[in-house]
Amino acid sequence: MAALCFAIFGMTSSCLAESENVSSEEILVYDSGIRTGLFSTQPLGVYAETVRFTPPSSPWTLTKVQIAGWNGYDNKTLPTEKLIYLEIRDEDLNLLYQFTDSQIPYFTYPTPTLADIQVPPITVDGDFYVCFYDRGALGVAYNSTEIDDGRSYIYNRHTGELSPATGQRKGSEEFGPLNWIIRAVGH
């Protein structure tokens, strides 16, 4: 009987520890969450949709990236499998982590979705960049309704240059700044 009580108490406390870890996650968001459109770069993987994040404390540990996008899946036929590429860079654009995979496990839904991409724990001490190379595999969602200037960029992998992200304003022929719907999750 004592062993059974100990086992139950052990399971309960491990469940509490897991729920405490989940509740301590912070999501860094610089978009309104309202999708204005989708944007796709060229298949060569030179340009990345990029967001600069400022952690709420230092050091801060990144554990997951969320990216809103859609690969055109129509609920009938899988799209052609292509490679996507993710980089985490520090405030000086030095590479901290890179990841390559098919887009299918993350973005194959009949509508645009917010996909979770797990990363190993990456400790950052200042601003950092999430660079996502869609490589023509999908459209990355953006919003131009509420702009947090200076957060969303196009990163050129060959030159190492950041350019402000711009696109057509909703309901207008004008072009202006936009926000990628890319988020960082950590603690």
Q: Please report whether residue 109 resides in a domain.
A: yes
Q: Residue 14 falls within a domain, yes or no?
A: no
Residue 5 lies inside a defined structural domain of this protein:
no
Nearest CA to 69 out of 157, 170, 139 is that of 139
Indicate whether 1 belongs to any domain: no
- By DSSP bridging, strand 95-102 and strand 139-143 are unpaired
CATH of the domain at 107: 2.60.120
Domain total for the chain?
1
Q: Is the pLDDT score of 102 beyond 50?
A: yes
Which residues, including other chains, have CB under 8 Å from residue 78's CB and lie 6 or more apart? 104, 108
Structure tokens given for 88: 């985490």
67, part of any domain: yes
Residue 5 has pLDDT above 90, yes or no: no
- Alpha-carbon span 33 to 2, nearest angstrom: 51
pLDDT averaged over every residue in the chain: 86
The neighbour count for residue 119, using CB atoms within 10 Å, is 19
Is residue 182 assigned to a domain? yes
Mean pLDDT for 40-44 is: 86
Average pLDDT over residues 20-42: 83
Judge whether 60 and 99 are in contact, CB under 8 Å.
no
Domain of 178 in residue numbering reads as 26-186
Q: What is the pTM of this model?
A: 0.83
Q: How confident is the model over 91-102, as a mean pLDDT?
A: 97
